[in-house]
Structure 1
Amino acid sequence: MTRDDEIFALALDAPPSQRSALLDRIGQEDTARRERIESLLAAFDQAGDFLEDPVMDPLTPFPEEKPGDTIDRYTLIKQIGEGGCGTVHLAEQREPVRRKVALKVIKLGMDTHAVITRFEGERQALAMMDHPDIARVFDAGATETGRPYFVMEYVDGEPITKFCDRHQLSIAQRLELFARVCLALQHAHQKGIIHRDIKPSNILVARHDGVPSPKVIDFGIAKATQERLTDQTLVTHVGHFIGTPAYMSPEQADQRDIDIDTRSDVYALGVLLYELLGGGLPFNPKALAQSGVDEIRRTIREIEPSRPSQRFSKLTEDDRVSIARQRGIAPPQLSSVLQGDLDWIVMRCLEKDRDRRYGTAQELADDVRRHLRHEPVEARPPSTAYRVERFVARHRLACASALVVALTLILGTIVSVRQAVRATRAERVANVERDAANIARTDAQRRQEQAEDLLTFMLGDFRTELQKIGRLQLLDTVGEKAMTYFAELPPRDLTDTALARQAKALTQIGEVRLDEAKYDEASHAFTTAYDRAATLAARHPGDGDILFERAQAEYWIGFVARRRADFPAAREWLLRYRDSAFELVSIEGNTPRALLEVVYGLRNLAVLDRDNGDLESAREGFRAERTALDSMLATTPDDLQLRHRLVANAGDLGLTAEWNGDYPAALEHFFEMSAHVEKLLAQEPEVAVWQVKLAECSMFIGRIQVLMGQPIAASRAFDHAKQIIDRLAAQDPSNRHWQEDIQYIQLEQVTRLLAVGDGETARPILVATLAQLDALVKEEPSSSTLTAGLATAWRLESRLRGMGRSSGADEAIARAIEWGEPLIEAGRANNRTKGEFARSLILAGRIASARGQIREAHTQWIRALDVLKPQLSGSNDWRLLDPAAQALVLLGRTEEARPFTDRLQRFGYHALDPSAAATLNAASSSVRSPSTH
């Protein structure tokens, strides 16, 4: 709407004959406005020629200070800076000492009450502080024209970011310099001063004795927290910013400027650290400058910035190379260094809720130096509960309808893509339909991108959060619909972008299905992901990122094959994965990513060697992995991915030592594994994966303590494991991995109870375990692990029935053999499964022998030997030696059992099964009796 003053100006300019017509038009729209304009015109006419001529001569403007001018004892040399209200000059002081100083004076035309008050505040703020990294104030006064000035220490330096980049300071050197800045600000805060404009140009760095030294300058907009800096009150005009938007805290961006404290400076320090580490700012300063005040406020107060590592990964290749070079490091290494502690230190500073930031600049400096000392830092990712709470608070409606929207988009995309395929075919047949085909294809691609972007979120970031809190079942329907959708899309018809996006989503679906132990579905998802990744890799054979994605699919296919005991397929795919890792090194060099893939490739083959009984090769593979991990951790000691690998490596070495008969070494490795997990849990206490690993450690430790004849210690370890797993399973009943662990622990409980003759306590546990395992096997019959567990449960049931008056032990052991036999015949049995099957055959023979069926008993014991024989040569694995020695002794071939019993005794082996212990002890006594000849 046109303002009154604009209409008034128009009326003045209009000829008198036209002025009435203009007023008539205004009156038709707004009578009150016409009356106001007429009053203004009348007043103007009455004023006549008042003030057309000046009542006094115009003031002669004060000249700008220039080099050579003298202000009191200071001679100006050159202008070196200009701020919002003052100009800074390099000057020379001649008395009482001769030195160069920086002299700041109010700019011409800026000597309003508010600006002078602000300037006076700066002068007094600096005078209150005495810190080597804060520029000192020497003097203050006024120029001949009455404009205030002050004299401060001259810093012959450059902004901290430019200094660090020009001298290519490393990340560690930048952090040391930054910590000093934090401590300088802490001194100011203790004096009650908030800087409120921390940015690189206000932190100058110069070398002193070869050491970079920072100086914090320009407290021109500082605010006192304990007392007023001046007798006047400095009021910030509503709508005006005090500070620099790109470095401004959310509360500082708010119009309620009275609610600012030292944590606002902590936020700005976080922005500065963000820039020092990753070469950019959380928010694009150019975009902010082009935004209105309201949009700037909204951005700062509501938009969550990316972590430094995420921002860096999204830059162009040239930018990544340039930024990494300025830090004396390769781009992949810089990305790795930023991840973890540094990401979280920065993001804690940038919390929108200031109560979640560091409370002081001192705390920030302390955490930075903890990181430099390779100590645990106080900064942590926000807890899952907090993230979910905040996410839901911001997106309540979206959370309520996300699943519906996802399914709608997916189904809509299927229809659209079908239309696109038909349109493409039509394009090939008839050129006249080309335009229509293009329109249909463009629309389909847009819908496809929308659906796949949502899928990537739900199966990626959202899945990660659900996994941590144990709620993966929420994605079941999404996964089913997504697989139906992807089945409609032949890889050859997809763009590079679609292939990459879909390969990632399919891999995520496979991981969800794997967590649920749905191996057929997981294998199908991973194979489909491989088809897309391989198609893309064939199009771009020299692209490391694409090769990496193909390798992930190869790994997961091999992993599922191993879980299903399909060892030939597992070796084939894991060999492919290892070869892809070596190819990645040839493409991008010894980057952390490529080296880690090689480590994984070697480790996976070592696991296969161990599963097949080649323990020497397995141990060498795991030791090579540990050497590589130690080398990488020396550079990035807080890398969570590497520390997770340490956990698995310690477990692998422990299992290898156990199966090689070195129980003390195995126990040492498992305790080391537990210590690594405890550290990870201390850092991320709510992450369920670490809790599962802790339970796994306790199970391993308990089993070794059983083998070493320490039943009381073993009982405590198993109880601890069960407490953890019970809690997790109640939290997420659909997680099959956790359910499998529960059944394993319960089987160990029953075994220990039967060993001491406590069948009464064992019975309800075993009944529940049988029911749960039976249900799990029905849901996933391809799982060799679950099937072997069910066979073990029926063997224990047979032992339990044999302890009571009722019969039925033979029926139970027949069920155990029935479940184990297909695994043996299909070649899907590892040493554990073979040993367990042999124990069932031995127990069946004992039952037959007790009934006088000697021939049947011998048949079962001979078969047990046949199952074990291929693995016995040179084996130290108690799972094979124990049942083999039992079978030989029961067959009367005690002398043949001697090598096995000798080995077991040398290892310090203790059989928990009383029948087995009695048989092995009898054999040991027999072979050591005096000779009769």
Structure 2
Amino acid sequence: MEACPADLKPDDDIFAEALELPAAERPAFLDRACAGQPDARARIEALLSAHDEAQRFLERPLTVRPPAGPEEEPGTVIGPYTLRERIGEGGCGVVWLAQQSTPLRRFVALKVIKPGMDTRSVIARFESERQTLALMTHPDIARIYDAGTTPAGRPYFVMEYVEGIPITRFCDEHSLAMERRLELFARVCLALQHAHQKGVIHRDLKPSNILVSLRDGAPCPKIIDFGIAKATTGGMGGETLHTELGLFMGTPAYMSPEQAELRHDDVDTRSDVYALGVLLYELLTGRPPYDPKELVRAGVFEIRRIIREVDPPRPSTRLSTLTVEDRDTVARQRGAAPPRLTAVLKGDLDWIVMRCLEKERDRRYGTAAALAEDVQRHLRQQPVEARPPHALYRLQKFALRNRLAVAAVTAVTLALVAGTTVSTWQAVRATRAERLAATERDAALAARGAEAAARADAQRRQEQAEALLTFMLGDFRTELQKIGRLELLDRISAQAMEYFESLDLRDVTDTALTRQAKALTQLGEVRLEQARFAEAEQAFTAAHARAAALAARHPQNGDMLYERAQAEFWIGFAARRRGDLARQREWLVKYRDTGVALAALEGATRRSHLELASGHHNLAVLDVDAGNFAPAQAGFVAEMAALAPLLAAAPNDPELLYRRADGASWLGTIAERNGRYPEAADHYTTMAGLYERLAQLEPADARWQFELAQSLTFAGTISAISGERARAAGKYSEAMAVLQKLVALDPANKRWQSVLLRLQLTQAALRLAPPAALLPTVSEVRKKFVTLAAAEPASVNFARLAVMAWTHEAGLLLSEARLAEAHDAIAQARPAAERLWLNPQADIWTRHLACHVLIMEGRIAAARGQPLPADHWRLAAEVLGPADRAQDWRLLEPAALIAVLSGDSAAAAPLVARLKAFGHRSADPYVAATLGLTE
């Protein structure tokens, strides 16, 4: 062996030379290069081994994972749930429409983690969402029913299945006016407030996560997808609150500046308020503040810069920059002319939206409830709390840099309130002293002097304290609210209530009573904003005591009576917010009665009669909700009587005409539900005439045209069920002519399209032509409804119309003895009908349509000589619901038909007798012949 050179090379040189050699030659080379140096050779060999290992690094996975289990597919059974169709997919989970079999039969949404995504962090986030939803029990937030693991070991949870469409699309397709959009938006805010009170921030609010559907004819929102929600209490584990560095959590167009800064641990409920502002912006203008397509093209860093630094235009400004065509479309979808729409946005709505979109979150609304209340203030024509930014900026500087000043004002207020209490007590003592000294002339003079001095001092202190309280609970409260610091008023509010409750109202002047009533009303509003409803009601009750005292002192002063009415309304409103329906009714009755007194005092003034009409209307709606139709009818009749003198004086006033038409609609509905068809027809005719006049007065407002078509349809239905089929056909034709003009103006409006198609179907159902002649029209309408339902699978309305079309087509095919085709048609309707009747919110009309699918199945099976399942007719009766005490033909007619077809003619007899007493006839020849309801 050769001797090792005296100057051994460094390790890295030897290593580099060895790398140049084939692996087989390296040992001989190391023998020479490291002769006599075993430690050096060991180091070089280790380096070479590590290098070879690194070269093979990418040839195999870092970890060996077991193969993922098979992915779920339609028909898969997980516990009591059978998967039907995939309806959504997120980053780590898949959402399925599933049918639950026990203990309830219903459709649910089942979310299961994806195969291969069951990492520790993903499971933690999935578990977080499950816990998040379980916290919340609000009717406008999707509920969670169940949770578990699949046979493959992946977590899942079961949620309420929400049928609806995104809120922005719903509003546009239904051409909701600004007022209705704002009411719906306020409802969303209050639902989100519930989540915030449970310690949950949504963090991804956008239209697709707020679905709206019609329930009993009214739009109802549901907030869904708390998949990236954050618990503000930190009770769900630290792991669920983190994400990878630089990952956006949310949708950029709706993301708050603090979310864009990627400071996720610093996000609070005001980030959701920002997203609500974006949503409101879009509801008002038809566009979000920042163009989503431009944000996507901009890239991550530019997105962050835009959201953090670029101020969007005000809604009114954005509307004015649209093209003429786009502006006309936006205005039409909101039932207003473009100039009027721009005017509506300027002022309050601009301020409200821009306050939500403040870059600095301390300058936004402090809570979602505060935002809802400001929107409601705008709707009530009251001053809103939002103000132009410069005033807000001054307040921010004041509150943040002058905390001592805030504390000083608080201290002064408390001192003045306490001092006023003592001074008032001294004034009362002086008054008593005067009475005791009445027999001593000289002493009485001295007492009068002392009393006058004491009263003057007391009055001065009282005025100072109450003026400062009014400021603190009014303007100053507005500014504190903007920075989310209403808690600064807590001590003042508590001390103020003690002070007000200590006063004997008999010793308080009119001026002081007026000032105190205002301060107490403001205090009640503060408590409402803080969701402290019982305390709010206490403050409103104290305000009412002062307003009532003023009204008692000045019984001929209408202003005093009006203020008492407002206090009564506020007490009823607070009771409603805290769920005390009995107390709500008690105070709304008082509100109505004060409206009666105000009308008697002032005569036919607009103020008095609108108050009286509102009082009757509020109570009547409560009665309809409770199913008490007799008092509800009396309430709406009284409302119409209150409006009559105003309409006589201003017969073309749009607001008065609309309220009168709305009242006629309510009265027609009540009469129809109680089987009083001639009366219902009269009300619907009145309704149509009023909307026709409104359409003439405001031809640019498409809402009146649509409402006219609806009223003609209602009148046509009454004629149809009264046996006047030719008259019904005439009304339907008039309605279709109106709707055809609307659809021509806006072919994309699916609501107008669907109502027009339904009228064509209803016209065909009159059977004024042979079935063979009607089939092509019905088949074409059915195809269009099926297309609409497929495009909007969450729409209850489109699903209901598709079911209706399939059933009508099956009936016509049955009449033509095309039994196989009839069977196929009704089989197409059955799955959608099941989804409808399993919905716990299904209304009477929905149950009527779904039940007729089962009736048609029975008729077709009988014609084909095929047996029915043993429980078929029992299921049909369950779907329809109880009808033994009903007056509504939608329940009575199918209930009687089920009884006859199931062989129970005795049960059918009283139902048929009731229908005949109403003068009810059936347009369907089969039903008419089977039940004896012929013309």
Larger Rg: 1
Flag whether TM exceeds 0.5 (same fold). Answer: no
TM-score of the two chains, using structure 2 as the length reference: 0.41
